Amino acid sequence: MDAAYLISYEEDGVYLEIFPKGDNREEFISANLMNHLNRKKIVNLNISSVQNLVSDGVGRTQIALSQTEHVYGEDLTVTVSGDEKEVNARLLAPEPNGPALDINMARTLLTEAGISHGIDDEALAKLLEAKDYGEPYVVARATLPQDGEDGKLIFHFSTDERTGTPREIGGGRVDYRSLDLFVPVSEGDLLVTRTAATDGIEGTTVKGNTIKQRPGKEIVMPRGKNVTVNAEKTEMHASTAGMVEYIKNNVNVSNVYTIKGDCDMSIGNIDFDGSVNITGSVRSGHTIKATNSITVGGGVEAAKLIAGGSIDIKGGMQGSGKGLIQAGGSVSIMYIEQGSIIADGSVKVDVCIHSSIETGGTFTAVGKRGAIIGGQVASGGDVTASFIGTLSHTKTEVEVGVMPRKRARLAVLEKEMERLEADKTKLKQLETYLKKTEETMDKETWTKLHLSGIENKRINTEDHKTCSDEISELKHDMEHATDNKIHVFETAFSGARVSIGSNLFKINNDISYATFKYSNGEVTYVPCEVSKTDIK
Task: Determine how many CB atoms are found less than 10 A away from the CB of residue 309.
Answer: 18
- Confidence band of 179 (pLDDT split at 50, 70, 90): very low
Evaluate if residue 33 carries a pLDDT over 90. Answer: no
Q: Where are the alpha helices (DSSP H) in 345-442?
A: 404-437
Tell me which of 102-111, 153-162, 232-241, 267-276 is least confident. 153-162
- Give the pLDDT of residue 124: 94
- Give the pLDDT of residue 180: 47
Instruction: State mean pLDDT over 82-92.
Output: 94
- Give the pLDDT of residue 473: 80
Distance (Å, whole) CA 346 – CA 364: 8
Report which listed range, 255-269, 478-492, 494-508, is most confident: 494-508
- How many whole angstroms from its chain centre is CA 359? 39
Which residue would you say has higher pLDDT here, 483 or 150? Answer: 150
List of E strands, 286-429:
287-290, 294-296, 304-307, 311-313, 317-327, 331-333, 335-343, 347-349, 351-359, 363-365, 371-379, 383-388, 396-400
User: What is the tens place of the pLDDT at every residue in 231-282?
Assistant: 999 999 999 888 888 878 889 888 888 888 998 887 888 888 888 899 999 9
Distance (Å, whole) CA 400 – CA 381: 6
Distance (Å, whole) CA 28 – CA 21: 8
Q: How far from 456 is each of 416, 425, 443, 449, 463, CA to CA, in Å?
A: 16, 12, 20, 10, 10
Tell me which of 5-9, 162-166, 352-356, 389-393 is least confident. 162-166
Distance (Å, whole) CA 382 – CA 517: 10
- Determine which helix (DSSP H) or strand (DSSP E) holds 55, and give its type and residue range: helix 47-56
**Single-letter amino acid, residue 230:** N
Q: What is the DSSP pairing of strand 351-359 with strand 363-365?
A: unpaired
Burial class (CB in 10 A: 0-12, 13-18, 19+), 275: buried
Burial class (CB in 10 A: 0-12, 13-18, 19+), 319: buried
Evaluate if residue 298 carries a pLDDT over 50. Answer: yes
User: What is the tens place of the pLDDT at every residue in 44-56?
Assistant: 999 999 999 988 8
Question: Where do the structural domains in the chain lie, given as residue ranges?
Answer: 5-64, 75-141, 152-254, 406-481
The fraction of the chain above a pLDDT of 90, given in percent, is 58
pTM above 0.95, yes or no: no
- Give the pLDDT of residue 178: 47
- Confidence band of 501 (pLDDT split at 50, 70, 90): confident
- Determine which helix (DSSP H) or strand (DSSP E) holds 61, and give its type and residue range: strand 59-64
Q: How far from 10 is each of 38, 62, 68, 151, 306, CA to CA, in Å?
A: 19, 10, 9, 76, 117
Task: Determine how many CB atoms are found less than 10 A away from the CB of residue 373.
Answer: 22
